[in-house]
Amino acid sequence: MPRLVQVTHGLWRRAARAARLVAYDAFFGKRTGRVGLAAGISYDPRMSLSLGAGAQLGRNGTFQGEGRVQIGARTYLGGFFSIHCVRAVTIGDDCLVGNFVSIVDNDHGTDASAPIAAQPLAAKPVRIGNGCWLGEKATVLAGVAIGDGAVVGAGAVVTRDVPAGAIVAGVPARVLRLRALGAGSLGLDGVGDERGARIDAERREDHFDVIAHREDAAAERLRDLAGRGAG
């Protein structure tokens, strides 16, 4: 590519980015520092949108609804993301959100006496903590809280809360294992590493106690079925 064409192309890209920032500041919300806005992002003018310093939004992302969306510092949203917010969606600092991820804080009513499209939306806030990673095409549904440092596998559908440091996957998403997090990863500002480690250990112990209980119950059920078959 000739040098003049390269320079012209670079200037055009800078001008386009500046125009997107001016449009964002004038019409949509506030930002606490420099951010990165790719081309093709769609905003709903009814929405209150706040971006932390260093946040980056991928191309062709979509914001819908009249709710309040807060995206933390240095958080990255991949291309073709979708956030449908009627009440509130909060994404913490230092998160990675893959391409085609969908976050929705509302559901349609399903009463059989009226068409679904005619029923009011029921909204519950969604909160995603600091340092989380949401894999490509993951979906987070209304009312879900995802703890700090959690990982959501590609294509997962998150219908219930996710503990801090958990790795979840599947439809619906289930906990596969827990990461070993220190106090800083858990967002425990001002507490020592010893306390953070103790909290981590307690959370892991509680979680695996639940798993062990379920496994024992399943084994007991299998023994009962086997006894009935033998009889």
DSSP states along 25-40: HHHTEEESS--EE-TT
Residues 61 and 38 in one domain: yes
Query: 65 CB contacts (<8 Å, ≥6 apart)?
Result: 44, 46, 47, 84, 85, 86, 105, 106
Which of 6-10, 111-115, 181-185, 212-216 shows the highest mean pLDDT?
111-115
139 and 105, same structural domain? yes
DSSP character at residue 87: S
Q: Does residue 108 carry a catalytic annotation?
A: yes
How many residues belong to the chain?
231
Those residues with Cβ within 8 angstroms of residue 69's Cβ, 6 or more apart along the chain or in another chain = 47, 48, 49, 50, 63, 83, 85, 88, 89, 90, 91
pLDDT band at 21 (very low <50, low <70, confident <90, very high): low
Residue 34: domain span: 3-179
Whole-prediction pTM = 0.70
* Whether residue 200 sits in one domain with residue 86: no
Residues 164 and 185 in one domain: no
More confident residue, 31 or 68: 68
pLDDT digits (tens, 9 = 90+) for 29-42: 677 777 888 888 98
* Residue bearing tokens 């801090």: 164
163 and 193 assigned to the same domain:
no
79 lies in the same domain as 186: no
Q: How many domains does the chain have?
A: 2
In a shared domain, residues 60 and 165: yes
> Rounded distance, CA 140 to CA 173, Å?
10
- Residues facing residue 29 across a β-bridge: 49
* Token pair 């024992």: residue: 216
Q: In angstroms, what CA-CA distances link 182 with 147, 152, 161?
A: 14, 19, 21
Distance CA 55, CA 189 (A): 22
Mean pLDDT of the chain: 80
b/e per residue, 169-205, with b = 16+ CB within 10 A? beeebebeebeebebebbbbeeeeeeebeebbeebbe
Do 140 and 28 share a structural domain? yes
Q: Is 192 found in the same domain as 169? A: no
Q: Can you tell me the mean pLDDT for 99-120?
A: 91
Q: Are strands 96-97 and 76-77 parallel, antiparallel or unpaired?
A: parallel
State the catalytic residue, choosing from 9, 84, 108, 207.
Answer: 108
**99 pLDDT more than 80:** yes
